[in-house]
Chains A and B, each alone.
Chain A
Amino acid sequence: MSQKHMHPGVFDLKSQLDTGKISRREFIRYAALLGVSVTAASQMAGLTWPGRAFAGSVKRGGSVKVSAPIERVTHPSQISWIAPSNQIRQVAEYLTYTDADNVTHPYLLKNWEASDDLLTWTLNLRQGVLFNNGDEFTSDDVVFTMNQWLDKDVGSSMLGLMKSYLDPTDIEKVGKYQVKLHLKRAEIAIPEHLFHYPALVMNSRTFEGDFIKQPHGTGPFTVEMFREGERCVLKARKDYWKKGVDGKSLPYLDSVQFINLGTELAPQIAALQSGDVDSMDMSDLPGPQAFKALKDNPEVKVMGIPTNSARVLRMRVDVKPWDDNRVRQAIKLCQHREKILGLAYYGEGLIGQDVHVSPMHPEYCEIDTPKYDPERARQLLKEAGYPDGLEVDLNVGSGWNEIVRYAEILKEDAKPAGLTVNIKTMPNSQYWEKWTEVGLGVTVWAHRPLGTMVLNLAYIADDEGKPVPWNETNWSDKEFGELLEQANGTLDIEKRRQIFCKLEKIQQDRGSIGIPFWINQWMICRKRVENLNAHPTMYMYFDDVWLKS
């Protein structure tokens, strides 16, 4: 992007950087969001962006085997969890890429520009990119894919993310390589939304509803074999648009094989230790157990990374007794956070403060951590009309071990407050069937790079006052909604953080959730695998992975 087209917000950011109001990392993250290339932003911040490898160090050829659940994928936009996307992502790609430091880069986009009011976003496409069937990647594919996301019949989670600011009619094809989005409200997180796991770009000419039948993407690999529940074999293509450090087309590997070894951790660890597989898809596996089991193994690399993913104690505010904020506060006060993090997740994470904004989110405003206080909880229950205590059912998926442990600790620590917690266990799949319906439950929330993303997904009502689809607690607050909308369109980081201070205070004081901790995640592979890096989203990328000789 040339200097004359630079968003005015970038200059404000630079001045905030110069006066020490924001860190270099925050400057790069926000400048990148406004369309400045990371290299340019790094230079403006006085940093040089490190290269990832030297030509002499990489080696071409070889195959990597990964243990992973092989689930049937038909429509990429319908992917509802990370594991299937880890296979399809090697074949189809996103428009953007958010790195492990939460900095978003252009990917299939060459760059983007946002209008001063953040209402118009111009997406400039990378030229010369080919789908693996030879078709050229153009704006038709972007418009087609976005229409799939916004089609109610497709049922993509992208719809929940985008529908508050984007309708199909708001997408304008300007030219062969340019698309404009005319938003209904200001939104700064567009580039990050384009990196959501179902946001894979499809070929508008060939896609007919089943990606495995027409596996035409722009990614570095093609589908050689896909057998549900068994194996997915991907072969390298020769004309991929990204170049390696040796100047030739990526990928370095000849093939990647995903092998279904079931859902149990033990056989997958045994397979990794024996070298039968080189890595494991960790998105469905209990990370801390794998970390503990493999951290001292000299043949294995265990790379940890803090995330914005949490196990959320959520209360339906339209269901008794959770309609009374005093009861909600009471159960939150029964969380002994250090103990919960220590025992439920072996201390591998950060303490939470009952607000769905993590200390890793750029907008995070420091807020006090509530102390474990059963006496105060008992008092609150008394005030709420439960002088003799209260008995409640806590619904949890029995497959999430850390959640069951969290529930058991909460049950024990809530006893002194007069709160009897009956743990109702069920298979995870059954929990997902009623995750928005249960009165009290613990839900897994995945990593999202910006605080606004998750707050917009789960804690607001739509224009008609109805909770948005993923608002599992049916909680909405007029002041909270207005402040969040303000935050969505506020670029100045200090001002944004000030708004978040208020948002966090509201959610902590009268919100519908408890978050005792934020989890770490891990990427685990054998030492011969190079450049397979941990990412807080648990996304796996094999385009620039190589094998040590």
Chain B
Amino acid sequence: MTEQQTAEEMRPETIPDQGEGSVLESQKGFWRKIKSAVQIILTSKTATVGFLLVFFWVGVAVLAPALTPYTPTEQDWMHPNEGPSAKHILGTDELGRDLWTRIIYGARVVLVYLPVSEHVTIPGGTAIWSVFVALVVGSILGLISGYIGGWPDEIIMRLLDAMISIPVLLLYLLIVAALGASAVNVVIALAIMGIPGIARLVRSLTLDIRTRDYIKAAETRGESKLHIMFVEIMPNAKGPVIIDAMLRVGYAIFAMGTLGFLGMGIPPPSPDWGSMVAKGREFILQGHPWASLWPALAIATLVVGLNLMADGLREEMTRYQ
């Protein structure tokens, strides 16, 4: 597969002067990459199980409006706290809202879109955005620290050490308490907390890669430091960074759940899984475990899925290397 892929990548573009053909070609390239990524996943049982779990949640999140006749905030006030039935397959919560609907719309908030305000949303789920922001900032800091070294390295790393020394949950709570509870602020809190880990990972990868011959060659060619960091080092560090990011999406979902559970997550009535667990927990003692059980299972399966997928991928990639 690797040989075939290399051969295809090396094949010259057939019609380089025609825009339409070029687009088609790049689309083909994209699907080829997806296909090969899926093939890597399917070679590992662990990754396959993880992939199926994640695929399920991404699927229901994307298709949520087509999978339910209700909206996540619609209240049927004559039927609160009901168990699963034909009308409500997972039952209803304390305000008579359909739990299946809230779960799958909750997955949308985690994985598909970020609610910036009541009326504005942007693509990319809250967990995805928080990891993406942490990845961008953490990678830049790690590259600078690892490649340039010296006093910038000292300053950046000591600041990040100081951040790591503060308990994570406490810092989440401090940030959200200071900024106020909203989806964007949850992204900011999770991103800030993700930066040190990513920066340290990228720094250690950079320290390794900078000793390679092709970096020496680039330096001899007189390439700028920016070029070397972002064109030479970063692409060669992407493998472990992607695996790490995948794990971090899992951590972010977990952290979102924790913040929601503590009443500091995305404000109601958003179908935030953590706050659904917290609210539903009141009714367990009254014999209605459903409102708490389903979102807890949702968090667990998605996080486990992401972890399995990342583990499987890591194993496979290590094997290829």
Contacts and interface: CB of A to CB of B under 8 A. Distances in A.
A292 interface: yes
Contacts of A407: 268
26 contacts: A265-B282, A266-B281, A266-B284, A289-B282, A289-B283, A293-B285, A339-B77, A343-B75, A343-B77, A343-B80, A343-B94, A398-B181, A398-B264, A401-B279, A404-B268, A407-B268, A409-B95, A412-B73, A412-B74, A420-B118, A425-B263, A425-B268, A426-B177, A426-B180, A427-B263, A427-B264
A408 interface: yes
Given A266-B281, A293-B285, A422 B75 contact: no
A292 B81 CA distance: 13
B267 interface: yes
A426 B268 contact: no
Interface in A277-331: 286, 289, 292-293
B286 interface: yes
A343 B76 CA distance: 10
Contacts of A408: 73, 95, 268-269
A309 to B, nearest CB: 20
By DSSP majority rule, is chain A's interface helix, strand, loop, or mixed?
A: helix
Contact of B267 (A266, A339, A424): A424
A269 B269 contact: no
Q: Nearest 6 A-B pairs (CB), nearest first?
A: A398-B263, A293-B285, A339-B77, A408-B269, A292-B286, A425-B267
Contacts of A166: none
Interface string A412-438: 100000001011111100100000000
A242 to B, nearest CB: 38
A412 B95 CA distance: 11
B185 to A, nearest CB: 11
Interface of A: 265-266, 269, 286, 289, 292-293, 336, 339, 342-343, 391, 398-399, 401, 404-405, 407-409, 411-412, 420, 422-427, 430
A430 B77 contact: no
A493 to B, nearest CB: 38
Contacts of B118: 391, 420, 422
B181 A286 contact: no
B177 A427 contact: yes
Contacts of A422: 118, 267
Given A289-B282, A293-B285, A412-B75, 19 more contacts: A266-B285, A269-B285, A289-B283, A343-B77, A343-B80, A401-B279, A404-B279, A408-B269, A409-B75, A411-B73, A422-B118, A422-B267, A424-B181, A425-B263, A425-B267, A426-B181, A427-B177, A427-B263, A430-B177
Contacts of B263: 398-399, 425, 427
A292 B286 CA distance: 6
Interface in B71-121: 73-75, 77, 80, 94-96, 118
Contacts of A266: 281, 284-285
Given A266-B281, A343-B77, A427-B263, A289 B286 contact: yes
Contacts of A423: 267-269
Contacts of A430: 177
Contacts of B286: 289, 292-293
B281 A425 contact: no
Nearest to A292: B286
Nearest to B284: A266
A261 to B, nearest CB: 15
Interface string B256-289: 0000000110011100000000010111111000
Nearest to B117: A422
A426 B95 CA distance: 21
A407 B283 CA distance: 19
Nearest to B71: A412
Contacts of A401: 279, 282
B272 to A, nearest CB: 11
Given A292-B286, A398-B263, A401-B279, A412 B181 contact: no
Contacts of B96: 343
B290 to A, nearest CB: 16
Contacts of A424: 180-181, 267
Contacts of B95: 343, 405, 408-409
Contacts of B283: 289
Contact of A425 (B74, B75, B94, B181): B181
A266 B281 CA distance: 9
Contacts of B268: 404, 407-408, 423, 425
Contacts of B94: 343, 405
Nearest to B173: A427
Contacts of B267: 422-425
